[in-house]
């Protein structure tokens, strides 16, 4: 899987309804890479992520994600695509009336798992990966924000996706919790998955280096490593 493009966008225009948000987008993400998307609120980061999950349709250009073409993707293919792509949200979106195990079981059942033993084994595996093995019976409100985000990452990993898309995953967390989440996401990339993360946190980007793209004035531009230290980025 090394050096294969998991995600490709070529000359893509990204729209929110009838508003052009980003134009002529070119982006490639390979297995094992960590990519950052930076830019002000409303600059197109979330719209780009929604395009990669086929939540927003591809109107022009060409794109593929995990072997699925985004051009004219059929409705029936979208759930299959989303099993190959794990999504991590800023606001967790956990089921508040179910414990950690039941949150994860819900996703496995919804994606076609039947074997109870296999489901329990997979849940144990992903909770080990995020270091939450002994919190499986806790309710979401009994967990810290950092622990809830670890559950979200575990949920994203259940179906062994080829890519993880994280939309401001540390936005609601303190510095220590953010650091722990970044260590997990970098380990996921090192395991051979492509990780794309939208963030405002320049300090984390410096500590956990990756390839950085900036959304600005309707364009997506790759930054060189030195640009991450520029004062303008601190205004994000």
Tens of pLDDT along 102-153?
A: 999 999 999 889 999 999 999 999 999 999 988 999 999 999 999 999 999 9
77's tokens: 């293919």
Could you give the 3-state DSSP secondary structure of residue 51? helix
Q: How many CA atoms lie within 13 A of 78 on its CB side?
A: 14
Q: Please tell me the distance from the alpha carbon of residue 121 to that of residue 145, in angstroms, as a whole number.
A: 25
Convert the pLDDT of each residue in 55-69 to its tens digit: 999 999 999 999 999
Which CATH number belongs to the domain containing residue 74 in this structure? 3.40.50.300
Residue 165 lies in a domain: yes
- Phi and psi at residue 34, to the nearest 5°: -115, 120
Question: How many residues are given for the chain?
Answer: 236
In-domain check, residue 115: no
Q: Which domain range does residue 41 map to? A: 5-90+157-235
- 123 occurs within a structural domain: no
């Amino acid at each position: 899987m090394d050096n294969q493009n998991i995600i490709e966008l070529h000359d893509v225009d990204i729209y929110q309804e009838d508003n052009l948000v980003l134009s002529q987008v070119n982006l490639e993400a390979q297995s094992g890479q960590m990519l950052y998307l930076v830019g002000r609120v409303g600059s197109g980061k979330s719209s780009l992520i929604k395009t990669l999950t086929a939540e927003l349709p591809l109107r022009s250009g060409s794109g593929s994600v995990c072997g699925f073409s985004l051009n004219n993707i059929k409705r029936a293919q979208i759930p299959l695509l989303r099993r190959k792509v794990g999504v991590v949200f800023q606001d967790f979106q956990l089921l508040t009336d179910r414990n950690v195990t039941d949150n994860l079981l819900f996703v496995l059942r919804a994606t076609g798992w039947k074997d109870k033993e296999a489901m329990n084994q997979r849940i144990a595996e992903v909770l080990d990966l995020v270091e939450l093995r002994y919190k499986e019976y806790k309710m979401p409100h009994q967990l810290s924000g950092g622990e809830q985000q670890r559950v979200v990452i575990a949920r994203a990993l259940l179906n062994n996706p080829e890519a993880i898309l994280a939309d401001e995953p540390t936005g609601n967390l303190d510095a220590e919790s953010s650091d722990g989440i970044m260590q997990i996401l970098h380990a996921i990339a090192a395991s051979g998955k492509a990780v794309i993360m939208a963030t405002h946190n320049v300090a984390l980007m410096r500590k956990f280096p990756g390839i950085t793209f900036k959304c600005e004035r309707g364009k997506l531009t790759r930054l060189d490593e030195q640009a991450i230290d520029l004062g303008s980025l601190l205004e994000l």
